[in-house]
Amino acid sequence: MSSRSRSSYRRALPAVGLVLALAAVWTLWPAGGAGLLAAPPAGAARPGALSETTEVVAVQVPVQVVRNGEAVRGLTAADFEVYDGRRKQAVTGFEVLDLAVPPGQGQAVANLPPALRRHFLFLFDLSYSEPKSVVKARQMVREMLPSLHPSDLVAVASYSAVNGPKLLLGFTSDRRQVAQAIDNLGLPQLADRNPDPLQLIAAQPDKNAMVTENNQDLARQSARETRQPQQAMISAFSRSLSDFARVLSGIHGRKEVIYLSEGFDTSLLQGTESIEDQRQMAEMTIQGQGYLTDSEQRYGNTRSTNVLEKMMEEFRRSDCVIQSIDIGGARAAQQQFASGVQALALSKPSGQASQQGEAPVRQGGQGSLFLMARDTGGELYSNFNDLATAMGQLLKKTGVTYVLTFQPEDVRRDGSYHKLRVELKGQAGKGAQVFFRPGYYAPKPYAQQTAREKVLAAADNVIGGGDGGAVALAVLVAPFRVAAEKAYVPVVIEANGEGLLAGSAGAALPTEIYVYAIDAAGGIGDFFTQSLRFDLAKVAPALRQSGLKFFGHLDLAPGDYNVRVLVRNGATGAYGVRAQALQVPAFGEPAAVLLPPFFPEAPGRWVMVREAPRKPENGSPPYPFVVQERAYVPSSRPVLAAGQEAAVALVGYHLPEGGLKAEARVMAPDGKDFGPGDFKIAHRESPDAEGEDRLTATFRPPQGLEPGEYQLLIVLTDAQGVAHRSAARFVVASPVQGAHG
């Protein structure tokens, strides 16, 4: 078959809508004598079916211990005691992240669970800040990003009196997206422009928008308000941020909310802080003219104060610490903060314009900034010009995180709040401060969660940690060379049907698929998402028999990636997460590349679905799994029987011409060598226009292998003695289970 005709055939495969007809075109090549294993009889155990896991309530408690301003290292699980209410809990899990450990010596960043990682949410206040202060704060945040650890997750949000709190970027390790989100501050309708449903990719800005002008309008609007509307604005601010904090409770780990604002005038809530004003109002009352005074100006507004206190309580409950950053910078001292607190409220008189054409400067707000920080366990940073320096102590104190896990009994899934207490035992607690989450919310039914809570939970699962969830997944990823600069990377996902269907009611099964490729620097190389809806009357039996198989792809530049896959039942919330390491080679270089071995599987096993084309006008991307003019469907989790032969497809680039000596070894996950398997090359095609070699082979696992997961290592040695290696995982089925490859 010529290079030209092969290339045309690959691109001729149709991009069918949802149910994919790939199984219909799959055919096993005749060479090599490998036969198909018989399908199981109806009612028998499903060979190779992915197993489910039982989901239990596990509470993770991030703890930071500080002594003399320094993080305390070297603690163990035996040093801690955890109390759920008054009941002492047994610690069932213990993990440590020490950011002082040099890269490569600690846990891989991509595999760190979210609870171990520091979360920084930069919340820009556009209503209680002057535009020039917001611009300054934006620049300072950008400059401090390099001082964060690669494992840190960063989110960006804004608050305005018009739109309330708006999450511009979810918690991500991609610093490029953080910088983009910061640049977008003040742009209208960002949410409508963002193609990423999890908001791990920043929205694209409207080039015609004027950020500074937009912020000035917000500032002028706030400055023109009278006292009563201003109190209403503070109440609205408090209520909306309470809701925002409640949503953040679903994110695992402590959230450091970096609140960048000039604050609001606390006298609107607590009464005037001016000694002179208080004296004059007192004299008027004595003279019988108290009716001429404003009681709220003198004593404050109790309702608004209570709403603010409830907001800070919600932040505490959600394990959020507010670090208040006064972005107004140095200002002239005008009044003392109430209750003897040694914080200065520095500002120009309300309504005074600083320069011609600028918005009026509002009353000083350091008092409110101090209250919000103090009552959530944070600090107030003021009169600074370098955010990284101002937060240096915070970064130092949070350099070591201990995560204690316990499993409470008889937890009702009603969303109720449970108080926590963590104590250090013996000498470990001497002179130390222990910072921990004050409580946790019990799980609540998925149907009762808000749309924002569901999105943040999905993003949390995608970004951090290893595999998990009640829906077992298997994932196959492999890079293929195409004419474009980036590699074409198929992503083949297999989801256990019973786990996906569990708890489903009604006529339809909504299914969500999220796939993100995160590079070694924490950036998102590419992503795709897909929403599916199945008619259960038609597909439920097939789903229960095996499950869902989905074919999508990524476009990735050369480099190392961690491909994160999330599949979720959109009605029940049942999900599965799987991470797969991937190395994309530089195909333009002459070095030989051997892709992982592919195990074709029999047709008709799965409910097959293919991704919708990203750009329909460009047609469907090429289907890469083709040998001898036949397309096949590779298994993401090959299940073989010990001693029985299976077909294998190999793909390589720049492999030397001539004969290749083939060898295969079987390894256990712990590295134990079980010796060679019977591996034979049956056929080799001529390279196509992209230099792609295709080989067909057979593999027979050694006799005597116990049921379980193994790794197949394949070595092809050319005539010059150069070895080319690749590997893939496979499962040996139990005698009862049989095999279904």
Strand partners, 547: 496
In angstroms, the CA 489 to CA 475 distance is: 12
108 and 192 assigned to the same domain = no
Residue 279 domain flag = no
Please indicate, yes or no, whether residues 111 and 140 belong to a single structural domain of this protein. no
pLDDT value at 229 more than 80: no
Cβ atoms of 115 and 94 within 8 Å: the answer is no
Contact yes or no for 75/65 (Cβ under 8 A):
yes
Pair 488, 433 in one domain: no
Alpha-carbon distance of 412 to 394, in angstroms, equals 36
**Among 563, 586, 592, 585, residue whose Cα is nearest residue 724:** 592
Give the span between the Cα atoms of 515 and 582, in whole angstroms: 13
Q: Are 426 and 350 within one domain? A: no
**Within a domain: 685:** yes
The 10s digit of each residue's pLDDT in 90-110 is 999 999 999 987 655 445 677
Are 530 and 666 members of one domain?
Answer: yes
If asked whether residues 166 and 231 sit together in one domain, one would say yes
Q: Which of 130-134, 477-481, 518-522, 616-620 shows the highest mean pLDDT?
A: 477-481
> Tens digits of per-residue pLDDT, 59-93?
999 999 999 888 999 999 999 999 999 999 999 99
Q: Which tokens go with 11?
A: 């691109």
User: Do the domain assignments include residue 287?
Assistant: no
Mean pLDDT along residues 212-218? 48
Cα distance between residue 130 and residue 33, in whole Å: 76
> How large a percentage of the chain has pLDDT more than 90?
41
Shared domain for 137 and 149, answered yes or no, is: yes
pLDDT tens per residue, range 495-504: 999 999 998 8
Q: Which pLDDT tens digit goes with each residue over 26-42?
A: 333 333 322 222 233 33
Contacts of 639 (CB under 8 A, 6+ apart): 47, 48, 730, 731, 732, 733, 737, 739, 740, 741
Q: Is residue 594 part of a domain?
A: yes
Give the number of domains in the chain. Answer: 3
Q: Residue 467: pLDDT band by 50, 70, 90 thresholds? A: confident
Tally of helices (H runs) and strands (E runs) in the chain: 16, 39
DSSP β-ladder status, 417-424 and 439-441: antiparallel
The pLDDT of residue 555:
94
Domain CATH for 652:
2.60.40.10
Any domain includes 278: no
Q: Mark whether 263 and 366 lie in a shared domain.
A: yes
Q: 666 and 537 in one domain?
A: yes
- The residues, any chain, with a CB within 8 Å of residue 370's CB and separated by 6 or more, are 324, 337, 341, 343, 380
pLDDT of 617 reads 55
**pLDDT on residue 277:** 55
* Mean confidence (pLDDT) of the chain: 78
Dihedral of alpha carbons 259, 263, 264, 267, sign? positive
Name the residue with higher pLDDT: 578 or 346.
578
Does a structural domain hold residue 280? Answer: no
Can you give the CATH number for the domain in which 133 is found? 3.40.50.410
Residues 160 and 104 placed together within one structural domain of the fold: no
Local structure of residue 363 (DSSP, 8 states): P
Supply the DSSP symbol for 520.
T
Judgement on whether residues 540 and 621 belong to the same structural domain of the protein: yes
Task: For residues 312 and 374, give the distance between their C-alpha atoms in angstroms, rounded to a whole number.
Answer: 10
Name the pLDDT band for 329 (thresholds 50, 70, 90): low
Residue 10 sits in the same domain as residue 110: no
Is residue 321 predicted with pLDDT exceeding 90?
yes
Confidence at residue 578, expressed as pLDDT on a 0 to 100 scale: 95
Domain end marker among 397, 424, 456: 397
* 453, part of any domain: no
Alpha helices in 358-404 (DSSP H): 366-374, 387-390, 392-397
* Residue pLDDT, tens place only, 441-459: 888 888 888 888 899 889 9
- Whether 198 shows a pLDDT value over 80: the answer reads no
Is residue 553 in a domain? yes
Single out the residue of 575, 582, 557 nearest to residue 462, CA to CA: 575
- The more confidently predicted of residues 644 and 621 is 644
pLDDT exceeds cutoff 80 at 167: yes
Domain that holds residue 42: 3-52+470-732
pLDDT at 186: 64
